[in-house]
Amino acid sequence: MAEHSGVWTIEDRCASAWHYLPFDVPPGAAALRVDLDYDASGAVLDLGCLGPAGFRGWSGGARRSFVITAWSATPGYLPGELEPGTWQVVIGLHQIPPAGAPYRVVTEVAGRAGRLEPGARDEPVPPAADRPAPRALPGADGMRWLAGDLHAHTVHSDGVMTVPELARFAAGRGLDFLAVTDHNTVSHHRELPGAAARHGIVLLPGQELTTDRGHANALGELPWVDFREPPDAWLEATRRGGGLLSVNHPYGGQVSWTAPMRQRPPLIEVWHWSWLDLRWTAPLSWWLAWHPGATAVGGSDWHRPGSDAPPGSPTTWVLSQAAEPAAVLGAIAAGRVAVSASRDGPVLLRVDGELVAVGAEGAILVGPDGPKARVRGQLARFPGDPGPHRLADPAGATLALAN
């Protein structure tokens, strides 16, 4: 057993957002446990772990302890062989009060898992019994529009649902795909194929790179992306791995995007629950000012009932050749994306060179230069002029976006 204790100060936070507490793992170890104790009344400390070979897990501020064994681990952490050598507890100094933050970290290593075995919720989750029928929307060239959400969390970071529970919940809301984007970890990725097959939904692997200068989703079957690096390194890592990077909720209160970037990512989460009043045009102006060439996407940022918009609020629509992860990501990369307030509300799509409004009787089609036409009927077609377009109600609230 090893212990580190002391007081983190604002000066420590100014020196670095992350600090490292070493401990040794001897040959033959089968399990380790780390416990963090601190006064949370004025401080917020994040928790993670690095082994000699690199990343072993992250739980941010969601947990005060974790266990890693050769065959299982606390959600957010990677099970596997415990390499002998020097390991490090990673402490993120997210918020430190003026008087400092006293802390104590205890690490324990065992030759057998025993009581260090992590707890788990692994009971079977039956598929949703009343899943809504797919929505019939005009497609093109054998492709169809899939309804989804590009931002959601599970118990692998600060959500309350397991991966199977989230898959069932999203499928029960009529979604065809969902990106699972837990904070700064990839421990959930190994669960996605099984849950997707059982619940009949495409689950896209993702990781939300989370810092106090902004959040971004790295989408795709990528290795862990080091969130401690500058955002341009995130973009390079996703490109190298064949994934996509999206700047998340760039105007979202205290988690707005403030990080400098030399390059621009392909996606921006223009529509997020933090768009509290859909009459506001701030999200649209940020998108068009920062990177008008980016594809606008949406994400609910689902964590738990009662505090977040549920999956599909907003809904991201993707014109895809198949309901499988590679096809969905390929369609997003090609820009075949639209966003609407909900799965069953008005949508604005680009199909065969036209703009098509569905379920939007009485709405106003707005282009880059302002209002263009009033929508008549449940399916209305308009010239597919370039640039972002949207459907608005007579009060100016956005109902749907087309890239």
pLDDT per residue as tens digits for the range 275-323 = 999 999 999 999 999 999 999 999 999 999 988 899 999 999 999 999 9
Cα-only R_g, the chain = 23
pTM for this predicted structure: 0.96
pLDDT > 90? residue 158: yes
- In which residue are the tokens 């898992």 written? 113
Please indicate whether residue 308 or residue 113 has the higher confidence score (pLDDT).
308
Residue (of 166, 234, 217) closest to 196 by Cα position = 166
pLDDT for res 376: 98
Q: To the nearest whole percent, how much of the chain has pLDDT over 90?
A: 92
pLDDT > 90? residue 333: yes
pLDDT for res 129: 86
- Sorted by sequence, the CB contacts under 8 Å of residue 301 that are 6+ apart come out as 151, 152, 153, 248, 249, 272, 273, 308, 309
pLDDT per residue as tens digits for the range 178-194 = 999 999 999 999 999 99
List the chain domain ranges: 2-113, 144-344
Q: 49-64 burial, b if ≥16 CB within 10 A, otherwise e?
A: bbbeeebbbbbbbbbe
Confirm if 256 and 248 have CB atoms less than 8 A apart.
Answer: no
Quote the mean pLDDT of the chain. 96
pLDDT per residue as tens digits for the range 43-96 = 999 999 999 999 999 999 999 999 999 989 999 999 999 999 999 999 999 999
CATH number for region 2-113 = 2.60.120.380
Does residue 327 sit in helix, strand or coil?
helix
pLDDT per residue as tens digits for the range 3-20 = 999 999 999 999 999 999
d(CA 238, CA 217): 10
- Identify the helix (H) or strand (E) that includes residue 51: strand 44-51
**C-alpha distances in angstroms, 204 versus 54, 146, 150, 219, 389?**
24, 13, 8, 7, 27
- Tell me yes or no: is domain 144-344 CATH 1.10.760.10: no
- Sorted by sequence, the CB contacts under 8 Å of residue 402 that are 6+ apart come out as 338, 348, 349, 350, 355, 388, 389, 390
pLDDT for res 121: 67
Confirm if 54 and 223 have CB atoms less than 8 A apart.
Answer: no
What backbone phi and psi angles, to 5 degrees, belong to 373? -165, 155
pLDDT per residue as tens digits for the range 223-263 = 999 999 999 999 999 999 999 999 999 998 899 999 999 99
pLDDT per residue as tens digits for the range 352-377 = 999 999 999 999 999 999 999 999 99
What token pair was written down for 103? Answer: 């802390």
Note if the bond before 283 is cis, omega within 30 degrees.
no
pLDDT per residue as tens digits for the range 284-294 = 999 999 999 99
What token pair was written down for 38? Answer: 């601190």
Q: How many CA atoms lie within 13 A of 82 on its CB side?
A: 29
Where would I find the beta strands (DSSP E) of 212-304? 214-219, 244-247, 267-272, 295-299
